A and B are shown apart, each in its own frame.
Chain A
Amino acid sequence: MRRRTAALALGTAATMVLTGCSSMSGSTADGTVTLNMVESLTNPARTDLIKGLIADFQKQNPKIKVNLISPPTEQADQKIQQMLQSGSGVDTLEVRDTTVGPWSNNGWIYDMKKDLTGWKGWEAMTENAVKASQDAEGKTYFVPYGFYGLSVFYRTDLIKEAGFSKPPATWDDLLEQASAIHDPGKRKYGYAFRGGANAQGNATAIIEAYVADEIDAADGFKLKSGKTIFSAPEALDAMQTYLKLFKEASPKSSVSWGYPEMVEGFSNGSTAFLLQDPEVIATVSESKSIKKDQWSTAPLVAGPSGKTVQPLATAGWGVAKGSKHKKEAVKLVEFLSEGEASTDFTKTNSLVPILKSAAEDPFYKTGPWSSYVTMTENPDTYLNVSQPRGVAWWAEWQQKADADIQKMVLGKTTPKELLAGWDTYWTEKRQ
């Protein structure tokens, strides 16, 4: 009896060790295929939404089962990397513009170009979305599900009080209005400056706006002449304006402000201007400190030429190269990228949509969303420029650039030195 118990315990322990925690993907005898799908920018509400979309997909495709894996956001990309490296266990996955470079470089993700030839979904997509689905060599490693783009969140009541009739249209307007409102003694601040994590995003946005006339549309950090945007004299004007914006119109501590502080600064009613993604609309709408009629959004501010560049960040769904069920995995990507599934996903997640039909949707036509639609509909003013976010050194660049911006606003380096450093960095990396 005792021996049997021991054997049983051993068997159980061995099984536990051997099975580990892997979920099996594969096909069963009746031909049912199980796909493993991994998301990266996980949050509970979004996970529920994806599960709902998967349920619809399974209804339409009874022979395909989808198993969703949702690692916590902070470690998700690293987890996905490990899965991809092991060569199995992933079929469909979330690929971001910042991860596509390294992952395709290492041969971990699948080029869906051939599979998607003739797919009717392309026709329904905006020009931005079609463009974002191809890398520099024309390969399709992911189909974007939406965009994160900047617009100006502003306080309608505060600009009126300061004597301005409309929101800022250029960076100079923004500096003027924000400085007029800024009064730290009364705990009123002009602009929610981004000095902390991902500070480079807004800093490069102003530089791109200033060089909009000469920018290379295929690579947002290059001029048509082939030099980097940081080498242009206009870039220096941009950085000087940006530094003024910090010194004359931003809270002192915004040297270290990242996303949460910026959004808090605007939604607690203390800060008049904020440059942010559409997902902030939902957060600000829930604010108890500012009412619906006290704020709105305006299109991204322009450079001296009246034009600006939309620094769109994107992510989408792709397929792992190691997947044994590529056909079914691509089918899932198609499903998520068209019709109601796509519209649901972008609306619930507050993303700039990928479908043309969104422009007619009352949801996007009114209120804070309208400025994003305005930008998408006017590509001559709000230029579509691809950001080089897929380069292998993007993460290194972000960290370097963030530290440099902090140096500049702390007075440890000048705009000129900063730009010279960035110019050298990109010139050397590109060689």
Chain B
Amino acid sequence: MPTASTTTSTTQTAKTASAGASGNGGSRPVRKTRPGRRKPEFTARRGFLISLFMAPAAIFVAVFTYYPMIAGSQMAFRHWNLTDLTDTSWVGLQNFRDVFADPAWGTVLSNTAIWVFGSIVPQLVIGFALALWLRRRFRFRGLYQALIFFPWAISGFLIGILFRWMFNSEFGVVNDLLQKVGLIDEPVAWLADPKTAMFAVVVANIWYGVTFFTIMILAALQSIPEELYEASALDGAGKVRTLFQITIPYIRVTLALTVLLRVIWIFNFPDLIFGMTGGGPNNETHIVTTWMIKITQQGDYGRASALGLIVVATLLVFAVFFLLATREKREVKP
């Protein structure tokens, strides 16, 4: 039974160590230059040359990223339909009104919430568990790691198609296994039933995304100094306690940023749903981004751009709030 004092000391140890590790604890080391070699002087000519070297990349990004983004956002306020580009007049907020007035919009929004949070929580928990397990040394660890990271190397659309066949009611492996085990008597039409289709795409997404958490968390775990665990063992902390008072506090920066990145990615990840259900049956598995693709395919770039802006604004607001909310946790106080 550990006392209050051991708790404090264990946490303190973790904090101090992590402070040292993150470089905020000590003073900055002075960079030494090699003897007999002067540090190159920064002159205007050098600056010009550096800019010249950077110019191609800067031009490339400006032309292929920023220009389309800006051009795309003004499309959101125009009547811009590919089927008739003879009239691209300014329509103000009409495209946004059309988006919100669509009868499917409510479903699309609630699906997006289910898709993001229903995927991220299990991904985080399973990814964390896998990372803890892979951290230990055991035979064939390298092989297991490779197998777990493998899904990340495959395109989301392809994963969608694979799962579409696995969940197929008549020829799919999922029903076959469930029937053999005796969990179901007759085949379940996973992707054809609105009640189960969303569940199926979320399951596929969990499987696909666990890997990313595992990779990130495993990398963070490997930076925790072994001495901390030794110290906590000496203090008599158990496994659960070590997890919550050493491991998690030490890697919380990685955790917070990984969760933020994943939320943005999953929100913006239509590939899997597109491959699996195409948003069906009866639009029941559409999320905001698949909905946007659907409207793009209809040629209505105005409305699709309005949706794009809504996505950007939502994620921006989310990112700001998330970073503010986790600032306390991410800052390391020595």
Q: Interface 1/0s, chain B 151-193, versus A by CB < 8 A?
A: 0000000000000000011110000000000000011011111
Please, which residue of chain A has its CB at the minimum distance from the CB of B161? A260
Task: Contact check, A395 vs B189: say whether CB atoms are below 8 A apart.
Answer: no
A428 at the interface (CB under 8 A from B): no
Please, which residue of chain B has its CB at the minimum distance from the CB of A396? B298
User: In residues 50-90 of chain B, which contact A (Cβ within 8 Å)?
Assistant: 52-53, 56, 59-60, 81-86
A304 at the interface (CB under 8 A from B): no
* Segment with Cβ contacts to B, from A38-46, A169-177, A262-270, A330-338: A262-270
Kindly state the separation between the CA atoms of A252 and B188 in the bound complex, as whole angstroms. Answer: 9
Task: Contact check, B169 vs A252: say whether CB atoms are below 8 A apart.
Answer: yes
Determine the chain B residues whose CB is within 8 A of the CB of A343 once the complex forms: none
B299 at the interface (CB under 8 A from A): yes
B194 at the interface (CB under 8 A from A): yes
B158 smallest CB distance to A (angstroms)? 12
Task: Contact check, B52 vs A392: say whether CB atoms are below 8 A apart.
Answer: no
A102 at the interface (CB under 8 A from B): yes
Task: Contact check, B56 vs A17: say whether CB atoms are below 8 A apart.
Answer: yes
B85 smallest CB distance to A (angstroms)? 5
Kindly state the separation between the CA atoms of A430 and B197 in the bound complex, as whole angstroms. Answer: 36
Please, which residue of chain A has its CB at the minimum distance from the CB of B82? A102
Task: Contact check, B82 vs A399: say whether CB atoms are below 8 A apart.
Answer: no
B49 at the interface (CB under 8 A from A): yes
Task: Choose among B53, B56, B278 the residue that contacts A16 (Cβ–Cβ < 8 A).
Answer: B56
Task: Contact check, B86 vs A255: say whether CB atoms are below 8 A apart.
Answer: no
Task: Contact check, B83 vs A101: say whether CB atoms are below 8 A apart.
Answer: yes
A396 smallest CB distance to B (angstroms)? 4
B223 smallest CB distance to A (angstroms)? 37
A29 at the interface (CB under 8 A from B): no
Task: Contact check, B281 vs A399: say whether CB atoms are below 8 A apart.
Answer: no
A407 at the interface (CB under 8 A from B): yes
A8 at the interface (CB under 8 A from B): no
Q: How large is the interface on B (under 10, 10 to 19, 20 to 34, 35 or more residues)?
A: 35 or more
B277 at the interface (CB under 8 A from A): yes
Task: Contact check, B170 vs A189: say whether CB atoms are below 8 A apart.
Answer: yes
Please, which residue of chain B has its CB at the minimum distance from the CB of A394? B83
Please, which residue of chain A has its CB at the minimum distance from the CB of B197? A256
Determine the chain B residues whose CB is within 8 A of the CB of A146 once the complex forms: none
Determine the chain A residues whose CB is within 8 A of the CB of B59 once the complex forms: 17
B8 at the interface (CB under 8 A from A): no
Kindly state the separation between the CA atoms of A253 and B52 in the bound complex, as whole angstroms. Answer: 59
Kindly state the separation between the CA atoms of A256 and B56 in the bound complex, as whole angstroms. Answer: 47
A431 smallest CB distance to B (angstroms)? 16
Task: Contact check, A252 vs B86: say whether CB atoms are below 8 A apart.
Answer: no
Kindly state the separation between the CA atoms of A17 and B54 in the bound complex, as whole angstroms. Answer: 12
Task: Contact check, B281 vs A195: say whether CB atoms are below 8 A apart.
Answer: yes
B283 at the interface (CB under 8 A from A): yes
Task: Choose among A105, A253, A392 the residue that contacts B170 (Cβ–Cβ < 8 A).
Answer: A253
A264 smallest CB distance to B (angstroms)? 7
Determine the chain A residues whose CB is within 8 A of the CB of B169 once the complex forms: 251-253
Q: Interface 1/0s, chain A 238-273, versus B by CB < 8 A?
A: 000000000000011111101001001100101000
Determine the chain A residues whose CB is within 8 A of the CB of B27 once the complex forms: none
User: In residues 189-226 of chain B, which contact A (Cβ within 8 Å)?
Assistant: 189-194, 197
Task: Choose among A17, A105, A256, A395 the residue that contacts B86 (Cβ–Cβ < 8 A).
Answer: A105
- Count A interface residues, CB 8 Å: 43
Scoring B168, B187, B191, B192 by chain A CB atoms within 10 A of each residue's CB, the highest score goes to B192
Determine the chain B residues whose CB is within 8 A of the CB of A399 once the complex forms: 294, 297-298
Task: Choose among A17, A81, A253 the residue that contacts B82 (Cβ–Cβ < 8 A).
Answer: A81
B282 at the interface (CB under 8 A from A): yes
A378 at the interface (CB under 8 A from B): no
Determine the chain B residues whose CB is within 8 A of the CB of A107 once the complex forms: 86
Task: Choose among B84, B186, B191, B281 the residue that contacts A105 (Cβ–Cβ < 8 A).
Answer: B84
Task: Contact check, A253 vs B191: say whether CB atoms are below 8 A apart.
Answer: yes
B249 at the interface (CB under 8 A from A): no
Kindly state the separation between the CA atoms of A251 and B186 in the bound complex, as whole angstroms. Answer: 12
Task: Contact check, A254 vs B192: say whether CB atoms are below 8 A apart.
Answer: yes
A14 smallest CB distance to B (angstroms)? 6
Scoring B189, B197, B300 by chain A CB atoms within 10 A of each residue's CB, the highest score goes to B189
Task: Contact check, B171 vs A264: say whether CB atoms are below 8 A apart.
Answer: yes
Kindly state the separation between the CA atoms of A252 and B59 in the bound complex, as whole angstroms. Answer: 54
Kindly state the separation between the CA atoms of A396 and B82 in the bound complex, as whole angstroms. Answer: 12
Task: Contact check, A253 vs B282: say whether CB atoms are below 8 A apart.
Answer: no
Determine the chain A residues whose CB is within 8 A of the CB of B56 once the complex forms: 13-14, 16-17
Determine the chain B residues whose CB is within 8 A of the CB of A410 once the complex forms: 194, 281-282
Determine the chain B residues whose CB is within 8 A of the CB of A16 once the complex forms: 56
Kindly state the separation between the CA atoms of A187 and B282 in the bound complex, as whole angstroms. Answer: 26
B5 smallest CB distance to A (angstroms)? 61
Determine the chain A residues whose CB is within 8 A of the CB of B297 once the complex forms: 395, 399
Determine the chain B residues whose CB is within 8 A of the CB of A195 once the complex forms: 192, 281
Kindly state the separation between the CA atoms of A410 and B196 in the bound complex, as whole angstroms. Answer: 13
A sample of 4 more A-B contacts (CB under 8 A), given A252-B192, A410-B282, A412-B282, is A17-B59, A184-B187, A253-B190, A256-B280
CB pairs A–B below 8 angstroms (14 shown): A17-B56, A85-B85, A251-B169, A251-B170, A252-B189, A256-B192, A261-B168, A264-B171, A265-B170, A392-B81, A392-B299, A395-B83, A403-B282, A410-B194
Residues of B near any A CB (own CB < 8 A): 49, 52-53, 56, 59-60, 81-86, 168-171, 186-187, 189-194, 197, 277-278, 280-283, 294, 297-300
